[in-house]
Amino acid sequence: MQWKTLTLALLVEHGVGQIQGIPEGVPPMLRFSCSQLVIDRLDPLVTPGTVPSPHLHQIVGGNSFNATMDPATHDLVESSTCTTCTFSEDLSNYWTAVLYFRARNGTYKRVPQGVSEMLHGNGGITVYYIPPYDGKTRVTAFKPGFRMLVGDAALKSQSSDPKVCHRCMPESGDWSHLNCAAPDSQTLPNEFCAGGIRSVITFPTCWDGKNIDSPDHQSHVSYPSEGTFDSPGAGTCPDTHPVKIPQVMLEVIWDTREFNKEELWPEDGSQPFVWSTGDREGYSQHGDYVFGWKDDSLQRAMDNFCFGDVCDVLERQSDEDAMKCTIPQVVKDDIDGCKSCLPDGLRGYGED
């Protein structure tokens, strides 16, 4: 996804929640906070019913999240009583891997999550839903039970077309660069980052129009075959996936500032961060999505080309209410304290 510099400049100047309507020349988008629901070793998409799952995830959204979430029996809207997201009609679940810092003495500590600029919450994820930039091409909202996955928890090398990337953030924002273009990289930054490390995960925008899932959780969706989502008409979807869907993007700010101390980093200067997958390079970050918007609320928002975290056709809850929505951890790992190994027993790649 390619940002228009004007969009972010306006957000910084006015605050996303203070802009009513879409300023001229600025593409529409929902951009809102989903606070932390739980951090747990569960993955109902890739390993449904398995407790614990192979690695740790940070999860946001509706409080009906569990280890199984079978689309045939689990209705997120009916089963959830609250959501960690700004818009109370969004009971979807979103989750990613968790970042750890490996100190010079070999112990690991979980990296806390920050909140993106101009938003409020308790860690979690900033979620984007983006209709086509031209302000007139329509998209079809997801159907109940829909789910998809971006990235690969087992990936150990670069992708030719990255949809997951990282940025070493300055102290205050960085609105002058395109997502997943320089200076972003598929690997984790090997330097002190004054504003933390940002992960961006960009989902496909074309659907086969039939299946709410596929065996690999990816084949039923596709990226445009020609152009990109910010091209005129949102690019061209392939014949196999003819239905244009909203662009979902996840943004996570990892607050690495407490680790910006030379005495903590490895003496050899190697990169000290590791994903909960055991990956010390950065390639294995991934994002999972299970749709759970009430009724036609997401379609209304896309049809009205809403902007930011204020949308007249959606119900908005207070940040305080969103942060109150949590669930207990199922797998009782000590996920925060320093330890000699990751919660799932994995070590970083290349370690004995």
Q: What's the pLDDT score for residue 233?
A: 65
Q: What's the pLDDT score for residue 351?
A: 60
Neighbours of 83 (CB within 10 A): 28
Q: Which letter, b or e, does each residue of 130-145 get, where b requires 16 or more Cβ atoms within 10 Å of its Cβ?
A: bbbbeeeeebebbeeb
Q: Is 234 left (phi over 0), alpha (psi -120 to 50) or beta?
A: left
What value does the mean pLDDT of the chain take? 88
Q: What's the pLDDT score for residue 212?
A: 98
Residue 14 reports pLDDT greater than 50: no
Q: What's the pLDDT score for residue 186?
A: 94
Percent of the chain scored above 70 by pLDDT?
85
Rounded mean pLDDT, 220-230: 85
- Whether residue 192 contacts residue 179, with contact meaning beta carbons closer than 8 Å, is answered with no
Q: Which pLDDT tens digit goes with each residue over 279-324?
A: 999 999 999 999 999 999 999 999 999 999 999 999 999 999 999 9
Q: What letter would DSSP give residue 18?
A: G
Rounded mean pLDDT, 200-227: 95
Q: What's the pLDDT score for residue 209?
A: 98
Closest CA to 95 of 87, 84, 86: 84
Q: Is 348 left (phi over 0), alpha (psi -120 to 50) or beta?
A: beta
Q: What's the pLDDT score for residue 146?
A: 98
Q: Which pLDDT tens digit goes with each residue over 230-275?
A: 766 668 999 999 999 999 999 999 999 999 999 999 998 889 999 9
Q: What's the pLDDT score for residue 21?
A: 52
State the Cα–Cα distance between residues 301 and 310, nearest whole angstrom. Answer: 10
Q: Which pLDDT tens digit goes with each residue over 58-117?
A: 999 999 999 999 999 999 999 999 999 999 999 999 999 999 999 998 888 999 999 998
- Find out whether the peptide bond into 246 is cis, omega within 30 degrees of 0: no
Q: Which pLDDT tens digit goes with each residue over 185-198?
A: 999 999 999 999 99
Question: How sure is the predictor about 347, in pLDDT bands with cuts at 50, 70 and 90?
Answer: low
Q: What's the pLDDT score for residue 188?
A: 96
